[in-house]
Structures are given as structure tokens and as C-alpha cells.
Amino acid sequence: MAIKVLCADDSKQVLVTLARLLSSDPEVEVIGQAEDGEQAVRNVKNFAPDVITLDLKMPKLDGLQALKRIRMISAAPVIMISSFTQPGALAALEALELGAYGFIPKPVSGRMEDMIKMSDELIRLIKEADQAAKQQRHNYPPGIITRNTGYGSADPESKFNGNLSPAVYSQLSTDEIDSFRAIAIGCSSGGPITLLKILPLLPESFPWPIIIVQHMPKYFTAYFAENLDRKCSLRVKEAVSGERARKGCVYLAPGGYHVKVAKAGEELKFVFDGEIDPVFGACPSVDVLMESVAARVGKKAVGILLSGMGMDGVEGLLKMKQAGAVTVVQDRASALIYGMPGRALESGAADQVVCPQDIPNFIYHSARMRALEKKADSSSPTLS
């Protein structure tokens, strides 16, 4: 059965073109259109679409206002269509916080070849969103209420209880700080809202650099970094090629570039590679980052894989584990999409399953455990 799609845009010409391009795929059927936000909300009630596309700039109700109302009446995934402008990018990021599945940039040129290119990506996103929605319905059917009780609420593999006082954040010893040199995080759909559950909890004294690959179009990652920076105690910025990774800073891989780490004396620096093809359709790639962290940092790293569809990051996290790093995935109950973390769990790449709010404590807890293990090893008698 074809995926039923409702499209909303203030331009009738764009709607006609979009409907024709999307319907060229036999797995997609455009069942309704809307030229303003109020009509979009009415048509969601009337047509019960599987997936909804919303333009951000519409009369009567703009995309964000329409999204808020749609979220009250439908669980169908919503994909926002945004311009490359700063207001458009910021609104798209706000839409993710309001529950949108994802967003896609609208071509500035309006040329047909650019519209076709956008529609190809939109079709891929529509199929991904529909698959994710079906997965959620399968995992949590109507009438089944899940309760997030902290670490691993929905996963029997859970072990960490998360019951550490926030006061311990500033009490790490030198040996505990020396346990790690970098934290690598990978995420895709559902990642932005998950990162907002983790990064603002970290104190200004956080003693390691954090390097994040979030699948996001070029130019939008800069605005996402600025948005995170306003909400966090830590400095959050886009990574720059050749820049050294400083402790207590969060670095976001820019869209369109694969990011690796290389040694720079006692520190790490960023190396960009734009020549590598997209990995699992993504650039930047989680695998590329994590494989470089495994090779350059080894056991003194933490690898974290969050919500997202597909396989990117699974092999990278496995290589980090094989190098001795601490590896963790987000729990199923809190993830919008359990593709990447679920596949990593199945492959044996993850040591632990942790809900987002417990990840900061888990990192500190792991540093303490590493320091204790090192102390125990050094004090053990050696056989002559």
C-alpha cells in the first residue's frame, strides 16, 4: 500500500509540482493539499495522512503554528520544508523541538532540476518517516503506556541506575579526568531533541571535548550549533578543519564534510575530508568520525550512538569498542528512531543502554570506574 502524503505550501504552483514529482514514485500517493496552515490542519483531520509535509511560510497559520495544532490531533510524522535563510533555518530547528520528524531545504532557484533533486531527497525522507512511524506503532501499540524509569526503561540490557548526584560533576580526580580524551556522539533523525536532553545538563567544568556528527544539511549545522550554544553551559560551535579540540567544548561536524580526528601533540585536532563519498547517504558520517577516534584515541574515549535511521555509526561504534573505548546507545523508549542504536546493540557494539538524561552521569561514572580499574591493576602483585 502506498504511503499517503498531505502536502502544504502557500504556492499553488509548488503544490502541483510537488504532487506530480512525489506521485512519480509508486510507493507514494499525495492524497491532499493545502495552501495555508488552517487548511492543512483541517485536511489532516479529513484525510488522516501517513506523512505530512509543511512549508514554514504560509498564511493564516505558519508552519510552526500548524505543526503545534497537528501534533494535538495526529501522530503522523511531519517534514518541514524550509528556506536556506537564517530565519528559515532557525524555524526549522524550532520545528524539530516541537516534534517534527525532520526538515528539507527548499531550492532557492525554483528551477525544475533543483525541485527534482529536492523531491528525490523528500521521497527518501517520507519513506524513512513512514517506516519509523510503523516501528513506533509496532513497539508501542495504542493502549500500551511506556514509562521511562531512568536508565534502560525499555531495555533488559540496562545496568546503570543513573543515581549519581550532580554535585559529583566537579569532583573528578586527575586520574579520573585522565581516563578519557574525547567523547564522540553520532545521531540522525531524533538527534536534535535528544541532544537537548543531554548537553544542557553538562557543567561548565566538563573536562573533555565532545565531538558530534548530527545528520543535517549544509549551512543548517552552523545555526544548530548556535542554538545549542545558547542553551548550554559549555561552548558549542561548528568544528573547523585544523582546529584543536579543547576540553569543555562541544564541536558539531559541519554539513557536507566528513570529520576525523588526528593527534596534535597531547591534543586532538580536526581533519576534514570532502573527497569521501557519503556513507550510508550521509555526509558528515558517524562511522568516519568514530573510526578515526578508535584509531587515534583508542580506549580513552566514549562513543555514544543516539536516535536515527539506518546503519551509520554501527561499524564505527564497534571499532571503538574493539579499541577499548566505552560504548553506549540510547534506550528504545526515548528514541524517535531506534535504527542506529538498535543495530549497534544487535551487533554487540554497545557496552550499555542509557536514557539521554542519564548519559552525563554515565560518562562521569565510567571515568571513575576506569580510574579504579587502573589503580587496581597497578597495585596488583606481579609474578616474577
State whether 196 and 89 are in the same domain. Answer: no
- Out of 215, 331, 351, 358, which one is annotated catalytic? 215
312 is catalytic: yes
Burial of 312 by CB count in 10 Å (0-12 exposed, 13-18 middle, 19+ buried)? buried
How many domains, in total, are found in the chain? 2
**Residue-wise pLDDT tens digits, 213-231:** 999 988 889 999 999 999 9
- Who contacts 217 (Cβ-Cβ below 8 Å, separation ≥6)? 104, 105, 255
pLDDT at residue 378 above 90? no
Q: Are residues 177 and 89 in the same domain?
A: no
| Together in a domain, 182 and 107 | no
145 assigned to some structural domain: no
Non-local (6+) Cβ contacts of 375 within 8 A are: 175
Question: 161 in a domain, yes or no?
Answer: no
For the domain that residue 374 is a member of, what is the CATH number? 3.40.50.180
Instruction: Note if 215 is an active site residue.
Output: yes
The reply to whether 122 and 184 lie within a common domain is no
Domain that holds residue 329: 166-379
pLDDT tens, residue by residue, 117-157: 889 989 999 998 998 888 766 554 443 323 232 333 334 34
**pLDDT tens digits, 67-121:** 999 999 999 999 998 876 667 788 888 998 888 998 888 887 667 888 888 899 8
The percentage of the chain sitting over the pLDDT mark of 70, rounded to a whole number, equals 88
CATH of the domain at 103: 3.40.50.2300
* Residue linked to cell 523541538: 97
Of these residues, 312, 331, 351, 358, which one is catalytic?
Answer: 312
Same domain, 231 and 370: yes
* pLDDT of the residue at 379: 67
Same structural domain for residues 102 and 182? no
Told to judge if 365 belongs to the known catalytic residues of this protein, a careful annotator would answer no
171 and 135: one domain?
Answer: no
- 104 and 227 belong to one structural domain: no
Q: For residue 139, what pLDDT is reported?
A: 55
pLDDT tens digits, residue range 252-301?
999 989 999 999 888 999 999 866 788 888 899 999 999 999 999 999 99
- What average pLDDT does the structure give for the chain? 87
pTM confidence score: 0.86
Q: Is 298 among the domain residues? A: yes
Question: Does one domain contain both 135 and 170?
Answer: no
Question: Same structural domain for residues 78 and 31?
Answer: yes
Classify residue 265: in a domain, yes or no: yes
Same domain? For 36 and 180 the reply is no
